[in-house]
Amino acid sequence: MKSPQFFVTGTDTSVGKTTVSALLCAALHASYWKPIQTGSREGTDRRTVMRLAGLSASRAFPETYCFAPPVSPHLAAARAGVRIRLASIRLPAVPRGETLIVEGAGGALVPINCSQLTTDLMKQLALPVLLVSRTTLGTINHTLLSLAALRAARLAVRGVILVGNANRANHEAIEHYGRVRVLGRLPLLRALNRNALLAAFRRHFSARDFRA
């Protein structure tokens, strides 16, 4: 059986990609990988996902590139005197049938070097894309623009995951104008831990939507 694998991107930085990645890792018993990490001086998303999802180090693969400054990958690499090369980024091996969640850095069009964007990384890895969006004002425009960029790059979009308080109007507009399914919503949680994430998944998602 082919292992289900997904690339998680967002409409913007700090939209909730890492928390959604932790949610999926916990609920789907998935492994996690973030190939390009910036802002590591403030901690890595790998460590956050391990803590929130209860993952062992063996199921949270090390970054291919990791930079301290909290800036765009192309800029962080330039400051470090490094060029991010797509040829160096290869999917880690996971046990047969196990899900892998791959998290991108920032949004879909974030540059990773002088000539390539995160969409180029997505095309190389060839995984279905999950787009994380806010539920709040402005999300329709940001989500539709991100969907347009992903489709222009000929990427397969599995669906949108919303983060925030329920907003039925925005949910319906994203599905209608974006011609995409909203796969679920992660509400704002008072306590952010594995049990809370699992409860949110059971209430707002279906595991069927994340099968290969």
pLDDT digits (tens, 9 = 90+) for 86-140: 999 999 999 888 899 999 999 999 999 999 999 999 999 999 999 999 999 999 9
2 is catalytic: no
For residue 121, what are its two tokens? 């990384």
**In which domain, by residue range, is 181 found?**
5-210
Rounded Cα distance between 105 and 86, Å, is 14
CATH number of the domain that 163 lies in? 3.40.50.300
Band (pLDDT 50/70/90 cuts) for residue 2 is: low
Q: What is the mean pLDDT of the chain?
A: 96
- Choose the catalytic residue: 2, 17, 34, 123: 34
Contact between residue 77 and residue 113 where contact means Cβ atoms under 8 Å apart: yes
pLDDT digits (tens, 9 = 90+) for 146-191: 999 999 999 999 999 999 999 999 999 999 999 999 999 999 999 9
Q: Number of folded domains in the chain?
A: 1
Q: What is the pLDDT of residues 105-116, one digit of tens each?
A: 999 999 999 999
Q: Which residues of 111-129 are buried (b: 16+ CB within 10 A; e: fewer)?
A: bbbeebbbbebbeebebbb
Instruction: Give the residue from 160, 208, 210 showing the smallest Cα distance to 184.
Output: 160
